[in-house]
Amino acid sequence: MNKSEPCGSWQQLQDHECIALFQHGEQDAFAELVRRHQNRVYRFLLRMMGCREEALELTQETMLKAFRVLPGWRPDAAFATWLFRVANNAAMDRLRRKKVVKYVPIEEHMDFPDPAAGPDDELQSAQRYRILEAALRRLQEDYRQVLLLREVEEMSYAEIGDVLGLREGTVKSRIARARQALLEVCKGRI
């Protein structure tokens, strides 16, 4: 593929095609993979870390790792799933180092936005997602992980199992418990 070709031609390729081109020395194919996945990975990390700078740093770290791994990549896993696995490991390492991996009791005082603050539909919707984000931050990390992967990334249980290194049965029960916990945190507020 010619380097001077417009970005549009890259967008038509599947991930595995970009990977194959990159393995043949086409660096623009890697740039396309980064562009394609950077926002999803970033959003996940942002909600895991709660900090834009850290989320950006870890997104870059994830992509750097991809660059090193892709030359020997075999297409036995989806690239996106693999990226999330790397991103999730990076987030958990960082959280562990910061010693903030802890269970926050749901009874603890919470600084939730007031759901009845605005009569306007749009405003109410904004309030709801702020309440949800506040509730997510209060959840223990392993619950937050599975809920983000399921509800936001819409991954199947098998994919979530791949990302987190868990059996599907464990994913199933963890998602159920995480939902229960989240409902308890924001019950009546959303």
Partner 1 sequence: MNKHCKKSEDLSAYLDGELDEKTRLKFETHLEDCSACMEMLHDLRCLHGCFQTLPQQEVGFDLAPAVLAELGRQRARPASLPRFNWWRLLPASFAAAATVLLGVFLGNLLTGAPDAEVAAPTLAMFDPIPPGGLCIGFAECYPKERI
Q: Which is nearer to partner 1, 165 or 169 (CB)?
A: 169
CB of 40 to partner 1, least distance (A): 9
Indicate whether 64 belongs to the interface with partner 1 (CB under 8 A). Answer: yes
**Residue for token pair 């937050």:** 144
Q: Which is nearer to partner 1, 99 or 119 (CB)?
A: 119
Retrieve residue 19's tokens: 């990977």
Q: Using the rule CB under 8 A, is 79 a contact of partner 1?
A: no
Q: Taking a C-beta distance cutoff of 8 angstroms, is the pair 163, 146 a contact?
A: no
Which pair of tokens denotes residue 54?
Answer: 């850290």
Q: Which stretch binds partner 1 (CB under 8 A): 13-21, 78-86, 108-116, 169-177?
A: 169-177
Q: Is 187 in the site for partner 1 (CB under 8 A)?
A: yes
Please identify which residue in 150, 163, 164, 181 interacts with partner 1, judged by CB under 8 A.
150
Please report the DSSP string for 97-163 in residue order.
HTT---PPPTTS---PPPTTS--SHHHHHHHHHHHHHHHHHHS-HHHHHHHIIIIIT---HHHHHHH
Q: Does 29 bind partner 1 (CB under 8 A)?
A: no
Check residue 157 for interaction with partner 1 (CB under 8 A). yes
Site string for partner 1, 89-128 (x = CB under 8 A): ------------------------------------x--x
Q: How many CB atoms lie within 10 A of CB 139?
A: 20
The residue (of 102 and 160) whose beta carbon lies closer to partner 1 is 160
How far is Cα 32 from Cα 41, in angstroms, rounded to an integer? 14
Handedness of CA 59, 63, 68, 69 (dihedral sign): positive
Residue 3 corresponds to which tokens in the numbers above? 């380097």
Binding status of residue 11 toward partner 1 by CB under 8 A: no
Q: Tally Cβ neighbours within 10 Å of residue 33.
A: 24
Q: Residues interacting with partner 1, by CB under 8 A?
A: 27, 30-32, 34-35, 38-39, 42-43, 46, 56, 59-60, 63-64, 67, 125, 128-129, 132-133, 147, 150-152, 156-157, 172-173, 175-176, 179-180, 182-184, 187, 190
